[in-house]
Amino acid sequence: MTDPRTATVACPFCSTLNRVDLAKLDKGPKCGNCGRPILLDRPIAVSDSSFDRVTSETTVPVVVDFYADWCGPCKIMAPLLDDVARHRQGELLVLKLDTDRNPQTGPRFGIRGIPTLIAFRNGKEVARRVGAVPLAELDAFLKGI
């Protein structure tokens, strides 16, 4: 038997980490602590404290957007990543890490410019793209993971 497709994500309401069975997204996963919905059709916020668990305990590829609210190119990428999360939910997990609010993780991965996209499999970096990219280039990056 193969491992099920699962994602470990923090509840956006209470920050409790939850393991979500990606094969059952149509049943509307809920937080095991507060009971509120966990929506994977959009990028999920991750923090310094939850980053390692989320990237290593998720069995599908994970794409992390290292960004900041004030960054113009980051704002350009946001709707593209929203579309990726919506159209590829269950196949991959799209995360976002605000580098201003979470100052520890970026330097660990040598983030020198934002936006930076890093793809992970089993907690290990497998691909990286720095800067805003057009949709075709984003699609090519995602096909490589």
The whole-angstrom separation of Cα 59 and Cα 4 is 8
Would residue 11 show up in a list of annotated catalytic residues for this protein? no
Would residue 74 show up in a list of annotated catalytic residues for this protein? yes
Which residue among the candidates 11, 14, 31, 71 is catalytic per the annotation? 71
Q: What angle do CA 110, 115, 119 make, to 5 degrees?
A: 65
The whole-angstrom separation of Cα 2 and Cα 5 is 9
The SS3 of residue 66 is strand
Sign of CA dihedral 23, 28, 32, 33: positive
Question: Is residue 7 within 8 Å of 60, Cβ to Cβ?
Answer: yes
Which residue among the candidates 11, 14, 34, 74 is catalytic per the annotation? 74
**Beta carbons within 8 Å of 52's beta carbon, 6+ residues apart:** 123
The whole-angstrom separation of Cα 58 and Cα 7 is 4
| Positions marked catalytic | 71, 74
